[in-house]
Each structure stands twice: as structure tokens, then as C-alpha cells.
Amino acid sequence: MYRQPVLKNRRTLLERADKFISDVYFTDCNLRGRLYGDSCPLESLASFLSSKRITFTEAFQQTFAPHKVGDTFGPTWWTCWFKVTLTIPESWRGKEVHLLWESDGEAMVWRDEQPVQGLTKEGEKTSYILSDCLRDEEPHSVTLYVEMACNGLFGAGQGSMIAAPDPNRKFSVQKAELVVFNRDVRELLTDFEMLIDIVKELGEGEQRGYQALFTVNEMVNLCDPSDPGSFSKAHSLAHAFFSQRNGDSQHTAHAMGHCHIDSAWLWPYEETIRKCGRSWVTVIRLMEKNPDFVFTCSQAQQFQWVKSWYPGLFSQIQHYVKKGRFIPVGGTWVEMDGNLPSGESMVRQFLEGQRFFNHEFGIHCKEFWLPDTFGYSAQLPQIMQGSGISNFLTQKLSWNLVNTFPHNTFFWEGLDGSKVLTHFPPGNSYIMEGKVEELMNTVKNNKDKGRANHSAVLFGFGDGGGGPTQLMLDRLHQVQDTDGLPKVQTSSPDQLFSQLQADSALLCTWTGELFLELHNGTYTTQAQIKRGNRQCEALLHDVEIASSLALCRNRTFQYPVEKLQELWRLLLLNQFHDVIPGSCIEMVVEDALRYYEDIRRDGAALLHEAFGALGSKGNSTGVFNSLPWERHEVIQIQDGAGTPGLALVRVPSIGLTPVKDTQPVAPVSVTSQADGTILMENGILQTVVNKDGTLASLYLINANREAVSDSCHGNQFVMFDDVPLYWDAWDVMDYHLQTRKPVLEVVQPPHVVSSGGLRGSVSFTLRISDKSTIKQEIVMDAMCPYIKFNTEVEWAESHKFLKVEFPVQVRSPNATYEIQFGHLQRPTHRNTSWDWARFEVWGHKWADLSEHNFGVALLNDCKYGYSVHKNTMTLSLLRAPKAPDVNADMGTHHFTYAVMPHTGSFQDASVIQCGYNLNFPLKSIQCTADTEPWSAFSVSTAAVILETIKQAEDRKGALVVRLYESHGSSVTATLCTTLPVREAWHCDFLERQQYPTQPARITSEGVTLNFSPFQIVSLLLIL
């Protein structure tokens, strides 16, 4: 085959081939230099600048001024619209003609008033094909518009990608001209690139690598760049190499086009809409040219955006969805954070997502798709299964900083035992380019060799959008079945998972959460977003319950279906995996906080309407309880004259009552003591507040137990230096723990604010630094088993972390944390690397440290970061990262946490209920004076929590209720209701009655239900 003797010098042969396709060296005589033929300037180029993102119709009516290539414009986030007129020379007949466009902003080409292609230099899309093969009858004179966003694929970070955006960046178009594109050169370049990569990747240990080396060397011999007639011989040689087939046992790479578009991150939501447009229209162009090309695409929200902003493009997408080539995946509204959203929020992600895909495309997603998030709740398998999903694709755990996750393909078993088939693409990326290295890694990194013979290769630029390119498709096409490389098959998630399922006998199982050992700062960063999320979750919970009850009590009441969907969708959008974690730029934070304001305002109005319908608009004061247990609490009320006061009220479960003040068994007393400390008591707890606001003692009276550890103080604020290795807003590193400094400086020592009766409270102020202070009110209510700490922090720090500690007299190897619809345990020791890597963890409304018969719970109303090491329970409060938002968390913060010592287990002590009580305050309601106390629902056992009551989707006259087992026990419960329920049916999270249809058992007591530990049950109640 090789006519010339070839010396044994691998290095020169390889570098010779490299230089033959170099875009830096020898382009005067090498193949790369021949990629473009003749060029021709544009007829004219004109532009106009807009500070806003406007529609095409608005844009093309503007006055365009002449524009020269190289002119600068901006600033960041503006849009420059270009009018491009061009005439293709007659002499280019038969040639492939491109508009070459190189600019540092992301652009969209418009032709005949329609978006036709995205142009992004960073996404390797710099040319728009005007003609594949110019014919005389084609229009030679064309007018195009180019809409150029003044931001790059990754925003506009000042100096580095994740730095805060430079608001004054200038942009330019560096190249805008017509060129002849030599397709044959491009194809031959691809042959060369793939072969050279095979030589490099297979190294010196494989004979196949040498075969590639000699092939590519001979191709250089045969190919004369100045003579296209010589190309076919070189190409045939490459083809012969690529056609040498694999054996049957070779691994199969399932290639799927993909384009990870963060719904907001280093750019605002509004720009994401255009990113979707640019990326997806380009996908459609590729589909027209490549009949095998399949593209997977997640996030219903993004489809919704494209539907309303680019209706023409959306109908093209619908066309390819029908053909099974543009594949909606994931089944969720957005690719949400996997840790922080509540259980109900996660259910709604699937409900909104699956319903949207079904409505628009007649599609039901069978896989959950969440490549990029910072951990995965142990309840996700059950939530997926309940949403008709049994497969899961992600890969982020490959970012673990400490331990290597042991599987790529495995069964993931959740908290309740639900299992989903899970795949982490072993290439360890959801942004692949079809290169040899990635294909090799897909085989090499696969930790389930011999167990799973199939893997996903998701190719296409991503994070900032971009998506696949023709080059990526060409690369993968060359090596479909080439000896030495895995087989490459154009595929779909269905095909991949069917193969994995069919051959799953040897797969391992991972039980419990998938904890990411990185980005643990995201449980705390951007505290206002976290607070917005928690409060709006609670608000929508209350609105749905009040509206459902109003519907049953008042025939004229209209359940606010559309408005609730709109508010839920805003809440779900902000749960995107760079928004709720706080890893976004300031503009996104502003948008997110505005959305929370919208939810608060409109939610409050909905609640007001529902309360009006419930309370018959009387003028006596009543109280509404949205939780499924009777509550006996102190609330703030106003008397007839509008004077605020307190009342101790007893409110039935999910119901209301007029305010009838009851007397506490024991009133609260607050006493200043001679040594300057303050003693607070309510008959349940007794605490001593030190002169610095810490607790010297926290005593559980009936149990005769001290909760604060000997010679330690509870409620100790501590500051840490918080300088991560790179990912500022994301990461808190293990070494921050070495920099602990207690906050000791007292500005105003504790003094009594309320001296007792129904409520006692003590207030004090501490100084953190010149710029930051903590003001706190310690509140003890009559009958309340926990002490609340209402906290206000003025925060103006840089790279510091504020936490509060409670060293307690409890010894246990595990602490318990609330998660979605349940709880789980994590170690309090640091035995192994898997234990200490969880030095900062997430939890929802509470964490608990218990030994037999005694424990302490730490509750919160808007925090998510916790750690429990040995006997010290710590709640993470505020961080101060400077990238990507230079002002992250600066300003005033309000939050409340609470501490609750208890006897027995946390289950028996009602810690779970107390966590709810703190987060769902009783609400005042107007009612008539003769209103009888009324309860709509109650549950016979404390183990089962009725979490949600809403009107059924698409079905008036029916409610959906959702309950879960919260203790981790098998239990039978009766759901009692005073509502006129005629029938009850089990349904899934998509509210589909389960088949075979299964009515729930209704007795005179109510609906009887059996639960296994942490099981979630949804019922359709027909009224």
C-alpha cells in the first residue's frame, strides 16, 4: 500500500500531517489555506443600535446608517441591527456561496422577515449559506438583516468568564463578506483531523494508531492543495481506513445532538429567549441537510418562549418533533436545581413540563434530563416515577472534588425505594464536539465496563446555547463503525435507555441522594432569592388550599386557574439551576426578585379573594390554618380600633375559626437577673440569655435536660473567611472551617422588649465589622416548644461567611435533615472521605440531632445550608461572593430560625410539624361573628402529612390532594373531610387516574390509605 519507504519517526510524520491542516502555519501552501476560494465585498452594510431587545417588525422600520466593518458599537446588552445588501458575482455559478460573518456578539440572520440562522464565533458558526451550488435562476441580489446581541456566548464577564459583566464593553464586526466555500476541502480536512486525533489518542501502544499515522502520511503525499483533482485519492484512503470495521463486542456511543441553554446565568432571561431562537433555528437548518440528525431538547419554558417570540420557527420545530428528530426531553418546566425546590415544586416542574409537551407535541417524556445541577434529592426517583418517568440522565457528579462516583450506568433508588435507570455519559460532558478524544473517553471512563455496553454522547456547544455544527455531524458520520473506536449510532434517549434496560442484569444500585461534593455555597448564596422561593412556595400552597375550600363553600367562587398557573410558572422558572442556587449575574437576581414580588402581590390578592369567599366577608377577626393539624399558637391581631395585640388561638386543621382568646397553661416570664443575664420561661422551656446574646442555658423543663453543651453557648454567631478556588458564588471549600471567628462585639446588650404573658422577647445588637451588624430579637411564645430568633443583618462583607452555632448535649453519629417529602440522615463524624466531603450540606425547614429519647432541632424560615459536626449544629446564614454578581447579598436581610429541644424522637416530638408551623404562619381572615370553627380536612395519624390541595387540572368539580408519609414508617391513615366528596381515586403526579383504575376506599370516617415509608400519595376527589 505504501510505495515510499517511511522512516520510523512518528513525531515528524505526525507533525507533518498537523501542519498540513494548520490554520496558523503554512496556510499559503497547506490544505487549510484552500478552505475558502474567491471573496467579494458586500454591496452595503448599515446599522442601528437599540438599547432594548425589539422584534424584527419594529427593527426593520428603523433608519439604518452606513456601517464599516471594524466600527465599534455597544455597550453591553444593547442590540445592533444590521441591514446587509449583497450581490453574488455571476461567475460563481456552480459554487457554494457563504456570507462570512465574524463578530464578537451573538447574531441571528433574518431573511424574508423570518429568522434563518444563528451566527456565533464562539460556537463555531461564522457563515450563513447563501447557496449550496449557485444556479442562474437563484436570486443573486439579496437583502438580509442581522440582529446582533452585544454579549458573547457566555455573557460579558470582565476579565474572566464568571466575573461580573463589563457594562461598557464595545463590540465590532470583524469580517462581513461573500466567499466561495470549498466543501471538498472541508470534507478532506475532517478526514485529516479525525485521523490525526486517532494517532494522538491511541498513542504508541496500539497498532491501530500506527495504521492511522501511515494513512494520514500517505494522504499528505497524495494530496496537492492547489489541485482539487488530487483530493479524491486522499479521501478514498481515509475512507478505506474508516471502513475497517469493529468486532461485535465494541461499545456503542449513542450520538444525540444537544444544546444546553441555561435559562439565565451570565445573561438575563430575556437574552435566553434569543439564545433559544438562534440555537434552534440553526438546528432546523442542519436537519434539512442531514436526514439522520437527531436533536434532544429540554425545558418546556424555552419552548414556550420560542412559541411566543418565533411562531414560524416553532411550527418548523413541531414538524421535526412529529418526525421524531427534534426530541423534547426531561418533562420539566425548566432544568431545576436538584436540592432546594420543595417537594411540591418538584412535582409541579413535572406537571407543567409534561402537560406542556403533551399539549404542544402530543409527547410524553420518559426520561428526566438534568445534566447540570448541584446535587440530586433522594426523593427524585419517586417524583420521576410518579410523573411517568423511569429513566434519568445527568453527569454533574463527575465534578466531585473529593470522591469519584463509582458508576456511569446504574439503578438509582430513592428514599421510598423507587428506582430509575440512570446514565451519566462517561465522556463526562454534555457539551461534546464529536471528537475522537470524547469517543475514546466514552469507553475509557465508563465505570460499568462489561455491564453496560451503550453510552450517550451529547454533542453541541452549550451552557450559553450554540448547539451542534455541521462539522460535528461530519466527524461522527466518518467513524460510525471504525475499528479501534466505539461504534457511533445516531440515537434518541428512548433507544439508549431501551438498550440499557434490555441489558441491565449486571447493573449496580445506588441508594439515597446523589450528593455533589462541590458548589456547596449555593445553599446560601443570594439569600433574597432563597427567601423569595420559600415564601412564595408557602404562599401558593395557601392560595391553593384557601381557593379549594372556597370552591366547596361558595358556589359562585371561581378557582383562579390561569393566574395560579402563571404564578407557579414564575416560581418554577426561578428554580432554574443557576438562579435559585444564586450562581447568576446581578441582572438575573433583579429579574428573579421582581418575579417573586409579582407572586407575592398577585398571590396576596388571590388569597384575599379566597378568604372573602370563605369568611362571608364579615367584620369579625378570624384565623385561617392551612396545615393539616390543629394549632394552638400566639398570633398578632388588631382589635376593633386597629390597635395591635396578641391572642392565643386554637385553630382546627385546614380550617378557620373566629378569634377566641384562650389562656395559656403557663404564661411567659422574662426576668433580668443581677448578673446582667436574662431568664426567659414559658413552662416548657427555660433559657438564659447572656450579655452577648448567646444562650448560656436552654433547659427542657419536663425532661429535666439541659440542651446547651457544657461550657459552651448556644446561638453563637461565627464568621469564616470564604475564598474558594475558583467558583466564587458556588463554592465554599473545606479549609474555610479553619478560619472560624466568633462574633463577640456587643453594640447594644440584651434588653427586655416584651416582658411576658403571651409573648416574651429580648433584643440586642452585635457588631460584625465596621460595615456589618446583627440585630436580633429572641422570642418565646406561650405554649410554643421552640424559641424563635428574628434576625436582621446589615451585611457589607467581602468573601466572608456568617453562620450561627448551637453546641448541644447530644451524641449521635448521624444528624437528620428535612428534604422534599421526607428526611434523611448524614454523618456527624469524618471517618471517610465520603463523610468529610459533606462538611456543608443542604436541608429544608429543619435539621435534628437526636440520641435516644432526647434531641435538638434547628428550624429555619428561608435557609438551606447546614452542617452538624460532632455535637455542634450550624445553620449557614449569609455569604459574600463577588462573582458573577459583584453585589451579591449586600444590604439588609431578615430571617428567622428557631431552636427546639425535645424528648423522644423528632417524629414523636412533632419537629416536622413545628417546621411547617414556622414556615406557614396562621393567617388573619375576616369572618362573621357567628362563624363556627370549621375544619375541611384532617388526617388520623401525625405520620402522614396532607401537603397539597388544589383543583384538578382540566376538571372543575374535582380536587387533587397530595399526602406523604413523613416519619419513615409503614402506616395506615384515614383522610377525614367535611367536604362533600363523592368518589376518591388514586392518581399520579400528572393527575392521571392510575390504571387499572383504583378507587380509594371511602368509609364513614373518610378515605383509608396505606403508606410505606416516605410514600407520596395523590388522590383525585370528585365533589
Chain residues in the site for Zn ion (CB under 5 A): 262, 372
Phi, psi of 860 (to 5 degrees): -150, 160
Burial bucket for residue 455 (CB in 10 Å: 0-12, 13-18, 19+) = buried
Neighbours of 913 (CB within 10 A): 18
CB of 525 to Zn ion, least distance (A): 16
At 823 the three-state DSSP class reads: strand
Residue with cell 443600535: 49
CB of 430 to Zn ion, least distance (A): 8
The C-alpha cell at 997 is 383504575
> For residues 372 and 991, which CB has a smaller minimum distance to Zn ion in the complex?
372
Alpha carbons 815 and 832: distance in angstroms, whole number: 16
> For residues 338 and 484, which CB has a smaller minimum distance to Zn ion in the complex?
338
CB of 261 to Zn ion, least distance (A): 8
The C-alpha cell at 801 is 461567611
Residue type, 314: F
At 511 the three-state DSSP class reads: strand
Residue with cell 456565533: 120
H/E element, 608:
helix 586-615
Alpha carbons 67 and 58: distance in angstroms, whole number: 20
Residue of 104, 191, 262, 372 marked catalytic = 372
Alpha carbons 349 and 370: distance in angstroms, whole number: 12
Separation in Å, CA 466 to CA 145, 280, 584: 19, 8, 19
Please enumerate in sequence order all residues whose Cβ is within 8 A of that of 911, keeping only pairs 6 or more positions apart, or say none: 846, 848, 855, 857, 859, 900, 902
Neighbours of 1015 (CB within 10 A): 21
Give the distance from CA 60 to its chain's centroid.
37
> For residues 154 and 411, which CB has a smaller minimum distance to Zn ion in the complex?
154
Q: Which of 693, 736, 913, 698 is nearest to 840 (CA)?
A: 736
At 808 the three-state DSSP class reads: strand
CB of 172 to Zn ion, least distance (A): 29
Q: Is 448 an annotated catalytic residue?
A: no
Nearest residue to the partner Zn ion, using Cβ: 372
Q: Which of 476, 493, 320 is nearest to 421 (CA)?
A: 493
> For residues 325 and 519, which CB has a smaller minimum distance to Zn ion in the complex?
519
CB of 260 to Zn ion, least distance (A): 6
Separation in Å, CA 492 to CA 97, 384, 429, 597, 899: 33, 19, 17, 40, 50
> For residues 372 and 848, which CB has a smaller minimum distance to Zn ion in the complex?
372
CB of 511 to Zn ion, least distance (A): 27
Alpha carbons 872 and 75: distance in angstroms, whole number: 50
CB of 588 to Zn ion, least distance (A): 13
Q: Do the Cβ atoms of 213 and 199 come closer than 8 Å?
A: yes
> For residues 372 and 692, which CB has a smaller minimum distance to Zn ion in the complex?
372
Q: Which of 279, 511, 483, 494 is nearest to 417 (CA)?
A: 511
Neighbours of 94 (CB within 10 A): 11
Q: Do the Cβ atoms of 522 and 265 come closer than 8 Å?
A: no
CB of 577 to Zn ion, least distance (A): 6
> For residues 577 and 736, which CB has a smaller minimum distance to Zn ion in the complex?
577
The C-alpha cell at 577 is 439551576
Neighbours of 438 (CB within 10 A): 24
CB of 396 to Zn ion, least distance (A): 9
> For residues 464 and 785, which CB has a smaller minimum distance to Zn ion in the complex?
464
CB of 641 to Zn ion, least distance (A): 55
> For residues 572 and 859, which CB has a smaller minimum distance to Zn ion in the complex?
572
> For residues 263 and 490, which CB has a smaller minimum distance to Zn ion in the complex?
263
CB of 326 to Zn ion, least distance (A): 20
Pairing of strands 252-257, 487-490: parallel
H/E element, 387:
none
The C-alpha cell at 405 is 462516583
DSSP H helical ranges for 72-131: none
Q: Which of 1005, 1022, 1012, 1016 is nearest to 960 (CA)?
A: 1022
Alpha carbons 975 and 944: distance in angstroms, whole number: 9
> For residues 581 and 658, which CB has a smaller minimum distance to Zn ion in the complex?
581
Alpha carbons 729 and 519: distance in angstroms, whole number: 8
Residue type, 524: T
CB of 1022 to Zn ion, least distance (A): 42
> For residues 152 and 615, which CB has a smaller minimum distance to Zn ion in the complex?
152
Q: Would you state the torsion angle of the CA atoms of residues 292, 297, 300, 304, taken in this order, to the nearest 10 degrees?
A: -70
> For residues 334 and 708, which CB has a smaller minimum distance to Zn ion in the complex?
334
Separation in Å, CA 458 to CA 332, 423, 673: 19, 12, 68
CB of 458 to Zn ion, least distance (A): 13
Cα angle for residues 852, 853, 858 (degrees, 5° grid): 95
Q: Do the Cβ atoms of 547 and 606 come closer than 8 Å?
A: yes
Q: Which residues are catalytic?
A: 372
